[in-house]
Amino acid sequence: MSKVKILNDPVYGFISIPYGIVFDLVEHPYFQRLRRIKQVSLTHYVYPGALHTRFHHALGAYHLTCQAIDVLRSKGTEITAAEAEAVGIAILLHDIGHGPFSHTLEHTLINITHEQLSVMIMEKLNQEFEGKLSLAIEIFNNRYHKHFLHQLVSGQLDMDRMDYLNRDSFFTGVSEGVIGYDRIIKMLAVHNNHLVVEEKGIYSIEKFLIARRLMYWQVYLHKTVLSAEQMMIQVLRRAKMLRHRGIKLGVQGSLNYFLENTFTQQDFSKNKSILLDRFASLDDTDIAFAIKGWQNHFDPVLSFLAKSLISRRLFKLEFQDQAPRQDDINFIRQKIEKQFPFSKDVANFLLIVGKETNTAYSTSKEEILILLKTGEVKPMSLVSNHGIQPKMFTKHYLCYPKEIIKE
Residue numbers 357-396 binding its own copies by CB under 8 A: 371, 386
Select 217 or 267, whichever has its Cβ closest to its own copies.
217
Size of the site for its own copies (CB under 8 A): 71
Amino acid identity, residue 388? Answer: I
Select 11 or 22, whichever has its Cβ closest to its own copies.
11
Interface segment toward its own copies; rule CB under 8 A; list 93-101, 122-130, 288-296, 325-333: 288-296
Select 140 or 361, whichever has its Cβ closest to its own copies.
361
Question: Residue 136 CB, nearest distance to its own copies (Å)?
Answer: 22
- From candidates 5, 146, 183, 272, binder to its own copies by CB under 8 A: 183
DSSP class of 216: I
Interface segment toward its own copies; rule CB under 8 A; list 52-60, 141-149, 227-235, 264-272: 52-60
Select 32 or 326, whichever has its Cβ closest to its own copies.
32
- From candidates 20, 75, 80, 244, binder to its own copies by CB under 8 A: 75
Select 336 or 388, whichever has its Cβ closest to its own copies.
388
Nearest to 313 by CA among 113, 11, 121, 45: 45
Q: Mask of contacts with its own copies, 289-328, x by CB under 8 A?
A: x--xx----------------xxx----------------
Question: Residue 32 CB, nearest distance to its own copies (Å)?
Answer: 5
- From candidates 62, 101, 171, 304, binder to its own copies by CB under 8 A: 171
Question: Residue 288 CB, nearest distance to its own copies (Å)?
Answer: 5
Select 129 or 217, whichever has its Cβ closest to its own copies.
217
Interface segment toward its own copies; rule CB under 8 A; list 113-121, 203-211, 322-330, 396-404: 203-211
Phi then psi dihedrals of residue 113, to 5 deg: -80, 160
Q: Could you give the CA distance from residue 70 to residue 206 in angstroms, rounded to a whole number?
A: 24
| 29: contact with its own copies by CB under 8 A | yes
Nearest to 280 by CA among 124, 391, 58: 124
Phi then psi dihedrals of residue 52, to 5 deg: -65, 160
Where do the DSSP E strands lie in 133-220? 188-191, 194-198
**Which residues are CB-contacts of 263 (< 8 A; sequence separation ≥ 6)?**
110, 111, 112, 275
Q: Where are the alpha helices (DSSP H) in 295-325?
A: 300-310
What interhelical angle do 223-244 and 253-260 show, nearest 10?
80
Select 211 or 301, whichever has its Cβ closest to its own copies.
211
**Which residues are CB-contacts of 112 (< 8 A; sequence separation ≥ 6)?**
263, 264, 265, 268
Counting Cβ atoms within 10 Å, is residue 80 exposed (0-12), middle (13-18) or buried (19+)? exposed
Residues in 207-266 at the binding interface with its own copies, rule: CB under 8 A: 207, 210, 213-214, 217-218, 250, 252-253
| 119: contact with its own copies by CB under 8 A | no
Q: Could you give the CA distance from residue 282 to residue 258 in angstroms, rounded to a whole number?
A: 10
- From candidates 288, 329, 353, 377, binder to its own copies by CB under 8 A: 288
N-to-C CA span, the chain: 71
Q: Kind and range of the H or E element at 318?
A: strand 316-320
Interface segment toward its own copies; rule CB under 8 A; list 70-78, 91-99, 115-123, 362-370: 70-78
| 273: contact with its own copies by CB under 8 A | no
Say if residues 225 and 309 touch (Cβ distance below 8 Å): no
- Vertex 198 angle, CA 196 and 200, to 5°: 150
DSSP class of 196: E
Question: Residue 66 CB, nearest distance to its own copies (Å)?
Answer: 12
- From candidates 63, 94, 114, 186, binder to its own copies by CB under 8 A: 186
Select 105 or 139, whichever has its Cβ closest to its own copies.
105
What interhelical angle do 81-92 and 54-74 show, nearest 10?
150
